[in-house]
Chains A and B, each alone.
Chain A
Amino acid sequence: MKDVRLDQIDRPRRASRVTLDEVRFAHDRRVVLDGLSLDLSVTRLGIVGRNGSGKSTLARLLAGLVAPDAGQYRLNGIDVARDRKAALGEVGILFQNPDHQIIFPTVLEEIAFGPAQQGQRKAAAEDLARATLARFGKAHWEEAYVNTLSHGQKHLVCLMAIVAMAPRLLILDEPFAGLDIPTRAQLRRYLSHYAGNMIHVTHDPQDLAGYDQAIWLDRGDIRQTGASDAVIAAYVAEMTALGEADDIADLAG
């Protein structure tokens, strides 16, 4: 990992201002986010909650991929759902499954895509992609075909594809689910060097070591927010208690 130089991203580390005002989102007549209000300066924020709590939807909303049905959301004052061009420089999002994320057959094309969409010419975008690969110590991946990569390697390509766009805030939607322990540890290490701000959505508290704030989302509502240690402790206590109950026996209808 000697060649990793993520901390040399051009942007200085300034907190990202996340402002939600009575944000509501429903899908197929089911309310997923129920009047969320928040005003946070984010450097490292964790979002925990059970599956089905609305975490993934919130992640997409924070990234500007979906707009709220009611209420307002601004990231550093920008409506990222409307102003997609500005959004690309403000926020990037990493999803769970790299196979559903990688669009192009070669590593270089995939990493160069984002910068090209931000307005770079093809040659400049490719140079930026090469520079990103070099920063991660993966310059030799330039010509590689994505389908020859392992699952963990594909995850890294997805991360690089977003880092190349240098967004101020990186949102991670459970990107480590299903990875084996060594791969998880390696990817966590890459991420810990990321100089921008991060919002990490996860149901595993271990991913949030060293984070300063956390939000606990429960059935579309903010159950608790504050210093990450306190929130996570409360969350883990409840999850353990629920593990002793049997609510998976209940059907949704």
Chain B
Amino acid sequence: MISLTSPVRTRAHDWPAGAKLAGLCLGTMVLFLMSDARLHLAALVAVLGLYALPGAVFLRDGLRKLWMLWPFVLVVALFHLVDGSVLAGAVIIMRLITAVALANLVTMTTRLTDMIAVVHWLGAPLRRMGLRTRPLEVAMALVIRMTPVLLDKGTALTQSWRARSPRRPNWRIVLPFTLLALDDADHISDALRARGGLVTPED
């Protein structure tokens, strides 16, 4: 399954994921503590500037991801226009967009394998306590592997419906789909157990 990492290579792709995530946490906290409209404007411009650095494709991709915020922007704008507190509304909107843009930037410049490594690293204290993190890692891999397979089956069922009906499928299609997923669960459990299972002698 393709992750949301941008295919456009940037320098940020090579920075350590942990550092980027920590920076994101810090940056988001600062954004929520700031209240000055000018600072927010500067922050928004700076972040959008970062999007522009790797080129037009990257920028377009980033802006497209921000588009889904439009209902919130609209509602807040209307609210504050009616209320008269335009500046306060502008701060909320700018903060919103900057925070989401910053978070998306980290996602777009971090490879999936690096993110998984961070998850593994975050699990170190648990492992020191004696808990196993391998089931989590296997579970993550299973979801990544199975989602496209299930999607294909869901699509096949949808086509079977559309081949016999002029209407879109209704909720009844979820049942056979769930049954197919459960069948897969059985096969995969067997396969896992046949390959040693999740409980190994060293645990």
Pairwise interchain contact A95-B156, C-beta atoms closer than 8 A = yes
How big is the B interface, by class? 10 to 19
| Given the contacts A100-B180, A103-B172, A161 and B157 also touching, CB distance less than 8 Å | no
Determine whether B3 belongs to the interface, using a CB cutoff of 8 Å to chain A.
Answer: no
Determine whether A84 belongs to the interface, using a CB cutoff of 8 Å to chain B.
Answer: yes
Proximity bits, A65-95, B CB within 8 Å = 1, else 0: 1000000000000000000110110001101
Pairwise interchain contact B164-A84, C-beta atoms closer than 8 A = no
Contacts of A97 in B (CB 8 A): 156
Pairwise interchain contact A65-B164, C-beta atoms closer than 8 A = no
Cβ-Cβ contact count across A and B, 8 Å cutoff: 55
**In the assembled complex, how far is the CB of residue A86 from the closest CB belonging to chain B, in whole angstroms?**
9
Determine whether B175 belongs to the interface, using a CB cutoff of 8 Å to chain A.
Answer: yes
Pairwise interchain contact A88-B166, C-beta atoms closer than 8 A = yes
Chain B residue nearest in CB terms to A91: B163
Proximity bits, B163-183, A CB within 8 Å = 1, else 0: 111110000110110011001
Pairwise interchain contact A162-B164, C-beta atoms closer than 8 A = yes
Contacts of A162 in B (CB 8 A): 163-164
Chain A residue nearest in CB terms to B173: A103
Determine whether B134 belongs to the interface, using a CB cutoff of 8 Å to chain A.
Answer: no
Determine whether A137 belongs to the interface, using a CB cutoff of 8 Å to chain B.
Answer: no
Pairwise interchain contact B164-A95, C-beta atoms closer than 8 A = no
Contacts of B165 in A (CB 8 A): 84, 88, 113-114, 117
Contacts of A178 in B (CB 8 A): none
Determine whether B160 belongs to the interface, using a CB cutoff of 8 Å to chain A.
Answer: yes
Pairwise interchain contact A65-B157, C-beta atoms closer than 8 A = no
Q: For the complex, what is the distance from the CA of A99 to the CA of B157, rounded to whole Å?
A: 9
- Other than the given A88-B166, A104-B172, 9 more pairs (CB < 8 A) read A84-B166, A88-B165, A95-B159, A97-B156, A103-B172, A104-B176, A105-B175, A117-B165, A147-B179
User: B residues engaging A (CB < 8 A)?
Assistant: 153, 156-157, 159-167, 172-173, 175-176, 179-180, 183
Could you jot down 26 A-B contacts, CB within 8 Å? A60-B159, A63-B163, A65-B163, A85-B166, A87-B166, A88-B164, A92-B163, A93-B163, A95-B156, A99-B180, A100-B160, A101-B156, A101-B157, A102-B160, A103-B160, A103-B161, A103-B173, A103-B176, A105-B175, A113-B165, A114-B164, A117-B167, A147-B179, A161-B164, A162-B163, A165-B164
User: A residues engaging B (CB < 8 A)?
Assistant: 60, 63, 65, 84-85, 87-88, 92-93, 95, 97, 99-105, 113-114, 117, 147, 161-162, 165
